[in-house]
Every structure is written in structure tokens, then in C-alpha cells.
Copies of this chain bind each other. A is one copy, B any other.
């Protein structure tokens, strides 16, 4: 009933005039021209949030890793592969961004060396792969000194979900974090459903399992409410 109530309460103008950047999908980190490291993110949550933000009146830039979804026609879409490309697209025009929603599952690490040609299989039974840490996109945005947008991250965890989310919120300097438990096969990666808990410095709001589309509308409603408390331009 809570979910339905929140869905009913979705208002179309709550993000009128706001510029929203949303990252979505996985990143792919090339090992060579054919191989890569990636993850199971389908992009569904980020795309649903883009749709809901548009419905709420925002102008949306959707920065997406490789997914099989069709982007909303009304969004400005930027297709990227790697975390470094995603960061560049995120920072491009960030001074006009009011809300930054980092729904992408960015690879934490990328190979140190990207081979120009396909790596030939050697005779070695064991191979060592050296990886280097990727830039932290949401922390970079949250750490901007000037014109910093209201910055929202995700925490996809398989255990101690709320604890990890709260520590991530503090460590990365985020305004809000949306936590979900990806160990539950009914929700999360590749699933059509999700269930999340919004965690801010002074609030914790759980939204029960619903379709990603419905949940996205609830999330945008909650995000707009929390954001309006901090948005000096509308106060």
C-alpha cells in the first residue's frame, strides 16, 4: 500500500526547470581489442530514473555504459564504454547540473595495460593481471568545490547493506545514497524489480519491492523532496 500511495503521489512538476545528470549501466574496461572486465548491471534502474525525472519536468542527460535498452527520446544521451569516458561525460557541463544521480555500476579497477592486439593465449596455467583503480566518478562530483550538484549515489551490496551504504555516504561526501541488496535474486541486477533504502545523513527511507519503473517514480518524488530542502535557488 505504501508503494501504491507513493506512486499515486508522483507529481509531474517536482523537477521543473532542473538539470539532472544520470549515469547508468556497467562500464567495460578493455584488456585488449576483444576482452574486457564488466559487471551484470542492466541499466534498467538508471533508465527508469531518467524516464521518471523527465516526467517530473527535469531536463536529463543520460550517460550510459553499454546496455541493450532504448534510451528515452526526450533525454540527451551520451554512450560511453569505460569509467574514464564516463567521468569525462559526467564533468562535461556539470556547472549547469542541479542533481547528479550515479546509477551506473562503474568498474572499480581497469587493466594497467591495454594490449593493442588480441593477447595470445600462452602456455602458462596461471596469468597475473595488473589492475589500477578507476577514478571514483560520484566522489569526484560530490567533491567539486564550486557549483556542486546535489549528489546521489547507489550502493549495491550483498551483505550489511545499510551499514555499507552509510559508510559510503560519509566517505564519498554524498547527499544521498540509494542502497539495495543484490544478493536477493528477485531484485537488483538484471531483474525488473528492485527494493531500496534511501540513506541520507539524517534519514532512512525504505521503499518495498516494486517494478523498477514504479520504484523510479517513487525515488524521484523522494529525491525531489529531499533536494528541495537544500536547494537555495528555490527557497
A interface list, Cβ under 8 A from B: 31, 33-41, 68, 105, 107-109, 112, 117-121, 124-133, 156-159, 164, 182-183, 189
Contact = CB atoms under 8 A, between A and B. Distances in A.
Given A36-B37, A38-B38, 14 more contacts: A34-B189, A35-B107, A36-B39, A37-B37, A117-B159, A118-B156, A118-B158, A121-B133, A124-B133, A126-B130, A126-B131, A126-B133, A128-B130, A128-B131
Contacts of A127: 109, 130-133
Contacts of A41: 34
Nearest to A109: B127
Contacts of A112: 126
Contacts of A132: 125-127
How many copies are assembled? 2
Contacts of A130: 126-129
A131 B129 contact: yes
A31 B121 CA distance: 20
A35 B35 contact: no
B126 A128 contact: no
Contact of A117 (B31, B33, B107, B158): B158
Nearest to A125: B133
A182 B129 CA distance: 23
Given A121-B108, A157-B118, A158-B118, A182 B34 contact: yes
